[in-house]
Amino acid sequence: MPLGECELSVTLVVQKYGGTSVADLDRIRSVASRVKRQVALGDQVAVVVSAMAGSTNQLVGWVHGLDAAGYDTAEYDQVLASGEQVTVGLLAIALQTIGVPARSFLGWQAGFRTDRSHGSARILEIDPAPVRECLAQGKVAVIAGFQGISPERRLTTLGRGGSDTSAVALAAALGAQRCDIFTDVDGVYTSDPRIVAKARKLDRITYEEMLEMASLGAKVLQTRSVAMAMQHQVRVQVLSSFADLPGTLVVDEEEIVESQIVSGIAYSRDEARVTVLGVSDRPGVAAAIFGPLSDTGINVDMIVQSVSRDGVYANLTFTVSRADLPRALAVLERARAEIGYEAVGADADVCKISVVGVGMRSHTGIAHKMFSTLAAKGINIHAIATSEIKISVLIGEEYTELALRALHTACGLDRD
């Protein structure tokens, strides 16, 4: 490479540090020295940070502690956005203290424009100019994650875990070479290592698989951030801020050399099962049930319908998130006359287990393997849902650990 070209190509890296990585002053100092090392390589570095671990929960607690009703949700965001204001300032000071020029930005100062859905706002656009200018001056830009500004110029927040999305969106807007997400785990695992001792760290995972894993309960990345990375082709790496190890790269399918049929097994306890018993089996019944639920903003996930032997009555089973269960039951009660059912049953002690892998597109037999593995352990399946690259089953919560370990072994994922 001619020397001139080499000098011109500055690498721009976005780093994101989660709440546990900035949980106290010592950790903030150690983040500062990690940033310093990146700067020493000659890279331009933009750093997105979360609030100190636990601080956003405390802020939410204060708002709820007022027992307020009918308040303006812009005020909720005004409170919640304060956690990140503290950490950006502290990190900028810690950087300056070790001789690294830096300045902090709140979301609005860094050009994050969002819609007006307070509490779960979407990023509409980022004006990268202020951050670019800071980097061009040879400074590290330290940006508050999780927040932006609405068209009404009110502060907004992006939903819990939203600073991942801030980081990926910024990386896309800046055209960064990489977005490194530093967290308290050293990568993405085949399953939750706290439950499955033989879980392995994945070197690479595809955007699609990561998207499924995140939305099916793996907590490493906010789901929206993965969708955004996929859409803008941002190379994301998940790695530990406490160790110097390579993490997991989230990449395009073409970049995976040796692809497994199954890449991971996710689980979510955030589920509840609802069964509507004895509805008449006629056109329009499903619409009568799911219409009012969706009007109330309740998301329905798995759906199973079974028809009685005489073909007159049907039972409909579906799942909602556990937090939505009371509201879902109230909606069904109100729509009882319109739907026409005998009874409604509910069970919050359930768990959804999902087997995920892009290799499932071209391989058959995983469903059979999954069902027979569970059957051999005497685990009953309440509902099933599938997509091209995943199979999910709903089982009793008490079987979560047993099912995860058995499926991990059966899918050939165990570390040796």
Which residues of this chain interact with ligand ASP, rule CB under 6 A?
18-19, 50-51, 56, 83, 145-146, 160-164
- Decide whether 85 or 260 has the Cβ nearer to ligand ASP: 85
Q: Which is nearer to ligand ASP, 87 or 317 (CB)?
A: 87
Nearest to 266 by CA among 354, 179, 334, 199: 354
The rounded distance, in Å, linking the Cα atoms of 138 and 152 is 33
Per-residue x/- mask for Mg ion, residues 208 to 247, rule CB under 5 A? ----------------------------------------
List CB contacts of 287: < 8 A, sequence separation 6 or more.
none
HSE value, Cβ hemisphere, 13 Å, CA-based, for 113: 10
Cα separation, 78 vs 414, whole angstroms: 46
How far apart are CB 69 and ligand ASP at their closest, in Å? 23
CA separation for the pair 269, 279 (Å, rounded): 28
Nearest 5°: phi and psi at 210?
Answer: -65, -35
Q: Which residues contact 276 (CB under 8 A, 6 or more apart)?
A: 289, 315, 316, 317, 332, 339, 341, 344
Contact 386, 392 (CB under 8 A): yes
**Considering CB distances under 5 to 8 angstroms, the limit depending on partner class, which of ligand ASP, Mg ion, none binds residue 145?**
ligand ASP
Give the residue with the Cβ less far from ligand ASP, 60 or 300: 60
Contact by Cβ (8 Å): 51, 81? no
**Which range touches Mg ion (CB under 5 A), out of 17-25, 88-96, 107-115, 258-266?**
17-25
Q: Which of residues 318-337 bind Mg ion (CB under 5 A)?
A: none
Minimum Å distance from CB 22 to ligand ASP? 10
Rounded to a whole number of angstroms, the minimum distance from the CB of residue 50 to ligand ASP is 3
- Is beta strand 390-396 parallel, antiparallel or unpaired with respect to 12-17? unpaired
Q: Which is nearer to ligand ASP, 11 or 58 (CB)?
A: 58
- The option from ligand ASP, Mg ion, none interacting with 399 (CB < 5 to 8 A, set by class) reads none
Q: Which does 56 bind (CB under 5 to 8 A by kind): ligand ASP, Mg ion, none?
A: ligand ASP
Alpha helices, DSSP H, located in 207-259: 207-215, 223-232
Q: How far is the CB of 161 from Mg ion (least distance, A)?
A: 4
Per partner kind, with CB cut-offs from 5 to 8 A, the member of Mg ion, ligand ASP, none near residue 162 is: ligand ASP
Q: Which stretch binds Mg ion (CB under 5 A): 10-18, 25-33, 285-293, 313-321?
A: 10-18
Residue 87 or 392 having the CB closest to ligand ASP: 87
Which of 57, 296 has the CB closer to ligand ASP? 57
Among 128, 161, 247, 264, binds Mg ion (CB under 5 A): 161
User: Measured on CA atoms in the order 134, 135, 141, 143, is the torsion positive or negative?
Assistant: positive
Amino acid sitting at position 366: I
Q: Which stretch binds Mg ion (CB under 5 A): 97-105, 118-126, 159-167, 190-198?
A: 159-167
Helix ranges, 159-248 (H): 163-174, 207-215, 223-232
The residue (of 229 and 393) whose beta carbon lies closer to Mg ion is: 229
Backbone angles phi, psi at 313, to 5 degrees: -110, 155
Give the nearer residue to ligand ASP in terms of CB position, either 83 or 148: 83
Q: Are 238 and 189 in contact (CB under 8 A)?
A: no
Q: Choose the contact partner of 51 out of ligand ASP, Mg ion, none; CB within 5 to 8 A by kind.
A: ligand ASP
Kindly report the CA angle at 47 between 41 and 49, in degrees rounded to 5?
Answer: 145
Would you state the structure tokens that stand for residue 305, as one six-digit string?
């319908």
State the minimum distance, in angstroms, from the CB of residue 276 to ligand ASP: 34
Q: Residue 44: which of ligand ASP, Mg ion, none does it interact with, CB under 5 to 8 A by kind?
A: none
148 binds, among ligand ASP, Mg ion, none (CB under 5 to 8 A by kind): none
160 vs 269, beta carbon nearer ligand ASP: 160
Which long-range contacts (C-beta less than 8 Å, at least 24 apart) are formed by 376-383? 376/406, 377/402, 377/403, 377/406, 379/403, 382/273, 382/304, 382/317, 382/347, 382/350, 383/273, 383/302, 383/303, 383/304, 383/317, 383/318, 383/319
**Residue with smaller CB distance to Mg ion, 18 or 357:** 18
Find the binder of Mg ion among 18, 148, 217, 264 (CB under 5 A).
18
Q: Which residues bind Mg ion (CB under 5 A)?
A: 18, 161
